[in-house]
Amino acid sequence: MPSLLDFDAAAFLRDYWQQRPLLIRNPWREWSNPIAPDELAGLACEPGVESRLVTQAPDRWQLEHGPLPETRFAEIDRPGWTLLVQSVDHHVPEVAELLEPFRFIPNWRLDDVMVSYAADGGGVGAHFDQYDVFLIQGLGRRRWQVGARCDDATPLLPCDDLRRLAHFEPTDEWVLEPGDMLYVPPGFGHNGVAVGDDCMTYSIGFRAPSRSELIAGWTEHVLEALDDDDRYGDIGLALQDNPGEIAPHALATLHAMVSDALLDREAFARWFGEYTTEPKNHELDWQPEEPLSAQDVHAAAGRGLLLVRNPASRFSFVRNGPSDLTLFVDGIAHDCLGPSVGFAERLCGGDRVPVDDGMLGSDDAMRLVLDLLNAGSVAFEDDG
């Protein structure tokens, strides 16, 4: 598993995270490119895998969405093309391992690993993202330029599916070699161009829900639970001097009807745990052909097998008190007590977890393990 050498995560979070870019020259104990270009191209041809092909022409750039025909790459007659494949970590275990050194960022913030392959001169143009990203050079070389912060008012090129910047003035420039890494905070304009062929870059992306997304999702959830008979009432209504006035006491009651429903923090925490762990990719199905039983779990544990997380599944928890928490996996909440608590913490902290004697002797823990196994969120390590 790749690991970072002499990387001070606390100092990085204090001095750089969401503040300014940082170039990190080959911080790996031993860098090895985790996926070959041909394998990446093969993924781009598969249904259920999100991919894009960017080709350049003098007058315009063209964006094609996958799945791509196998013959498409041989047909490219323009220099400087780029292939982008999303969520490669869901399909290639070696790419998924790239996420582990970044677990100093909470699970719910991690998104996926996008992999790009570019011919000489290839790129997607100067642009900015609304999320943090670590750009790891896997193979070949790429020149990165970083500019000033942008926002929604920053001009973009018209009629451009790639959302390229209309004007870009770089303030810093570096050429990254295999193993080098560049951190770019949200909003900073940046531009990467392949220097030579066989240029591969791994983008570790992080999610940042917008205020509008949160409000829309939370209010929709609250509305689903409301009873249409729960209405405003005004028993003891007093005479008003002017019937046209909306009186202060009426406004206070109406406002409380709205705010009381929306400001339930415990309900929000449960909703957000479910919302943020919804799987991005439903195609990677680990559900067993036949439901597993407690006997199957005992047998696997007796052989020393570890539980392995489905790379397309998302795991987080909210602590409710000193001895209980709620585990969220793939949009489903699991309330945990006793041995289930430690298991949930280990499951969220690492991608391989043993099943110990305490869990085997607990009905609640066993029920949780079976729920996750039969949902396909985890599997025993030799079960594929």
DSSP string, 73-136: HHH--SSS-EEEES-GGGT-HHHHGGGGGGTTS-GGGEEEEEEEEE-TT----SB--SS-EEEE
Beta bridge partners of 318: 326
CA distance 184 to 16: 9
- Residues 6 or more apart whose Cβ sits within 8 Å of residue 211: none
Query: Could you give the CA distance from residue 7 to residue 25 in angstroms, rounded to a whole number?
Result: 11
Structure tokens, 62: 């063209």
Short-list 295, 334, 338, CA closest to 318 = 334
Q: For residue 97, which of 177, 33, 41, 22 has the smallest C-alpha distance? A: 33
C-alpha–C-alpha distance, residues 18 and 183, integer Å: 10
Q: What are phi and psi of 56, to 5 degrees?
A: -110, 140
pTM passes above 0.75: yes
Nearest partner of 128 among 98, 167, 100, judged by Cα: 167
Domains along the chain? Answer: 9-206 (2.60.120.650), 294-380 (3.40.366.30)
Render 208-266 in DSSP notation, one character per residue. Answer: ---HHHHHHHHHHHHHHH--TT-----TTPPP-S-TT---HHHHHHHHHHHHHHHT-HH
pLDDT digit string (tens) for the chain, length 384 residues = 678 888 999 999 999 999 999 999 999 988 999 999 999 999 999 998 999 999 987 778 889 999 999 899 988 888 899 999 999 999 999 999 999 999 999 999 999 999 999 999 999 999 999 999 999 999 999 999 999 999 999 999 987 778 899 999 999 999 999 999 999 999 999 999 999 999 999 999 999 999 999 999 999 999 999 999 999 999 999 999 999 999 999 999 999 999 999 999 999 999 999 999 998 877 778 899 999 999 999 999 999 999 999 999 999 999 998 899 999 999 999 999 989 999 999 999 988 899 988 888 899 999 999 999 999 999 998 744
204-257: pLDDT as tens digits: 999 999 999 999 999 999 999 999 999 999 999 999 999 999 999 999 999 999
For residues 330 and 377, is the Cβ–Cβ distance under 8 A? yes
